[in-house]
Amino acid sequence: MRKFNGIPKEHFELFFQEYEWRFNIGSPRLLLADLKNLLKEDY
Residue range 1-43, pLDDT digits in tens = 555 677 888 888 888 888 888 888 778 888 888 889 888 876 5
Give residue 17's pLDDT: 87
Q: What is the dihedral of CA 25, 26, 30, 32, to 10 degrees?
A: 90
Work out how many domains the chain is built from and give that number: 1
Q: Taking the CA atoms of 6, 4, 15 and 27 in sequence, report the sign of the dihedral they define.
A: negative
Give residue 42's pLDDT: 61
Range of the structural domain that residue 14 is part of: 2-42
Give residue 28's pLDDT: 83
